[in-house]
Amino acid sequence: MGGINGCSGGEEVYMVINTIGHYVEKSGATFDPIHGQGAHNVARQTGNTSVERLIHISGVGADPESHSPYVRARGIGEDLVKGAFEGVTVLRPSELFGPDDTFFNTLAGLARQAPALPLFGMGWTKLQSVFVGNVAEACVRVFADPTTQGKVCELGEPRIYNYKALMKLVVDHVGKRRALVLVPFFVWDILAVLLSVPANPLLTRDQVRLMKRDNVVKGNTLTQEDLGIGPISVEEDLPTYIDPNQRNFAS
């Protein structure tokens, strides 16, 4: 989950960033009330004030017609927000990396402790992760540039990896020898059904569905390069926040 942040000019808030996000449905917290109607409510209430600028944080690939409940809710939310706040800027970051991220820290925890690591399918799903600091920088630059009003910007570092390459990168970083096991997607589908406990699912069908599709910048929107933000690679940043000798999983 994220939050709603305002930047203050004197005593009056004139900029708002909606960073609220939710990635796994559980305990009554579902996608539509958060990414759909929730985002709409934030934009509508912001529009009823004197706030001049709104940034809505969405996600790469957001699509109101998607078969994925998560991606569909993101897309519906974007449409609702655009209708409620004229000139909103939508940022669509890809998978985030940086201190306390849930993706690479979790992979590192698995690499330290598991004798073998399962891959989704053949491990060929493409991912274009983005440094969390560059997402923050994008917000700063959007607010400083009036021409970004009403625009969509997708955020991902230039280098695209497949899932297997990222897994190998993490394994090499923690200094372990681990077998990478190819697990067909139909097996993951079965596991997701068995592990989708409503209160606290270990794996959901939607998570598996998302791993079947590439998560990359499409190139038909603004990009972080258009905002003048330089690239930061996973290889460059990973050693700064993942200790190869740490034994515990990320929380």
Q: How confident is the model at residue 3 (pLDDT cuts 50, 70, 90)?
A: low
- Residue 36 in any domain: the answer is no
pLDDT for position 249: 45
Of the candidates 97, 93, 139, 111, the residue with the CA atom closest to the CA atom of residue 236: 97
Residue 107 lies in a domain: yes
Domain annotation covers residue 49: no
* Residues 75-86 pLDDT 10s: 999 999 999 999
Question: Is 179 inside a domain boundary?
Answer: yes
3-state per-residue secondary structure call for the chain: CCCEEEEEECCEEEEEEECCCCCCCECCECHHHHHHHHHHHHHHHHHCCCCCEEEEECCCCCCCCCCCHHHHHHHHHHHHHHHHCCCCEEEEECCEECCCCCHHHHHHHHHHHCCEEEEEECCCCEECCEEHHHHHHHHHHHHHCHHHCCCEEEECCCCCEEHHHHHHHHHHHHCCCCEEEEECHHHHHHHHHHHCCCCCCCCCHHHHHHHCCCECCCCCCEECCCCCCCCCCHHHHHHHHCCCCCCCCCC
Would 151 be classed as within a structural domain?
A: no
* 207 belongs to a structural domain: yes
For residue 238, give the CATH number of its domain. 3.90.25
pTM (two decimals) = 0.90
| pLDDT attached to residue 25 | 84
pLDDT tens digits, 39-81: 999 999 999 998 999 999 999 999 999 999 999 999 999 999 9
Counting the structural domains of the chain, the total is 1
Residue 129: which pLDDT band, with cuts at 50, 70 and 90?
very high
Print the domain residue range for 170: 96-129+158-215+230-251
pLDDT range class, residue 247, cuts 50, 70, 90 = low
In a domain, 69, yes or no: no
